[in-house]
Structure 1
Amino acid sequence: MTGILAGRVAIVTGAGRGLGREHALELARHGAKVVVNDLGTSGAGEGASSAPAEEVAAAIRAAGGQAVTNGADVADFAATEKMVAQAIEEFGGLDILVNNAGFVRDRMLVNTSEEEWDAVIRVHLKGHFAPLRHAAAYWRAEAKAGRQRAARVINTSSGAGLQGSVGQGTYTAAKAGIAGLTLVAAEELAPYGVTVNAIAPSARTRMTGGPFAAKMAVPTEGFDAMDPANVSPVVAWLASIEAGDVTGRVVEIEGGRICVEEGWRHGPADDLGARWAAAEVGPALRALLARAASPEPVYGARTPAPSAVNGARG
């Protein structure tokens, strides 16, 4: 296989199904050698099976590519260190890390258990940190040894993490954390030749049922905007050497639409030059809110009236 990723080595986490599966296949189509990581859990993060990862690796090999499987729990610090080592031992290095693994347990905040909170935060947020930490250590060592690689990290946030989603408070917090981690990692790893970006995909997977089921339905004709394969070409390009000048960005992808997200930015400000008195804060803050851009409604929200959004009184 030849293409924009020819000769490059990639790890894709959660690559047994859904988006991760399509990412692994797409990277391989463009010439990457792929470590197909998947624990083989259910959509709720339960159980384990090597079958999904093995099926994807077999499909890559059948098409003429190179792939091996890995069954590490992405939130297991020691296991992900071995996963990075596996890529290096099997294929001679590591150039691309696609952090994709995750699951969801939708619940309103007042019904969320501590176990549910911990499980979702663990697999998404720690499950991004652990592989990234070990890959980054390898890339830093390579750079210091004079063998700097054009390394690429593609993390997976979501619209929930950027705008919020009713009934997904835990998932939203984890995905927002991933977006923030992406910004910091992009800056810290730049000296070693590493770019770090994130995607916010909208696609039909095991995680997108419930209130989104109607939107995710397979169309009877025409373009299937929710096909997870629509997302993967963006991942492939971000993983390429050509994308070396793009870092610290979050790209939303839905069907044929790509959108560069603009996150928290400094907006209107008022500097008193002294400590504010509590009675002065209200008028000052309301004046600033009236000048500020209104936030986008949370997914699933009852859209508030403009006066409620910007804090102004009618």
Structure 2
Amino acid sequence: MTASYPNTRLRRTRASGWSRALYRENLVTPADLIWPMFVTEGEGVEEPIGSLPGVSRWSVDGIVKQANEAVALGIPVVALFPNTQSDRRSEDGAEAHNPDNLMCRAIRAIKDACGDDLGILTDVALDPYTSHGQDGLLDKNGYVTNDDTVAVLVDQALNQAEAGADIIAPSDMMDGRVHAIRMALEMNGHPNIQIMSYAAKYASAFYGPFRDAVGSGGLLKGDKKTYQMDPANGEEALREVELDIAEGADSVMVKPGLAYLDIVHLVKESLGVPTFAYQVSGEYAMIEAAAAAGAGDRDALVLETLLAFKRAGASGVLTYHAPLAARLLNG
């Protein structure tokens, strides 16, 4: 390089702050963030989650305060996950269809408070509602059935849509559920509700703290390897994404995030569709543990990992660090 281009010095553009800003290829802003939140029963309740330091479950009144904070910080979307009480969980997850369930009450309360200033993304899967912790219905052998589960997920999605959800996000990984949900939304007067599909969701070891947060971790019987993706597979993710886009998804998600940056890049480069990454609970917890141990600066770690998602091609990132990151980015 130096022999052919003797006057080239790549450090020249790095020599000052203004120059680094001028030549910067990727940028993270608060508008790139989606803030996952956990809602629980009660009033005036804040329950810190031990395995997710700095994250709490909030009762509906508290979740509204968090939503208002998101608006103030410039975060465009919050993602809601319910911690359903044990006495409302069942084999068939029937509480998912209750129009007055925890999720629907939180949706309505946020919409009343924030209107169109904030988007609401809602998770469609049965694990927060089942007594066995699986994302779908079980047959007599304990296998998660596909088509029967899809029918239930459609009812769950419509329930959330009626409550005011803006983005339906099926995370269950059943085949054909995006098409079924899209058709149901169209036929029931919700043509403008988006679908962000968990298209490439892997059977990962990084989900433990999340399962604690929604109360399904101790309930889970078996694993989810028959429907979530094998971490060894990359090309399969493209087939999953192509199917979900063809079925009517407006955007897709790769989950987890950091360990799957190659998948984020592959999807965006190959298909050019809006691609989001979920920086999952285990990734968040590792950053917090590193910071607590003095192994790295929390703020720097958070911003660098978010930048890595954008550099890989992510359109945006779901992260529990969203409020911290937004404050840092807002200066």
TM-score, length-normalised on structure 2? Answer: 0.34
Using the size of structure 1 for normalisation, the TM-score is 0.35
Q: Relative contact order (alpha carbons < 8 A, sep ≥ 6): 1 or 2 greater?
A: 2
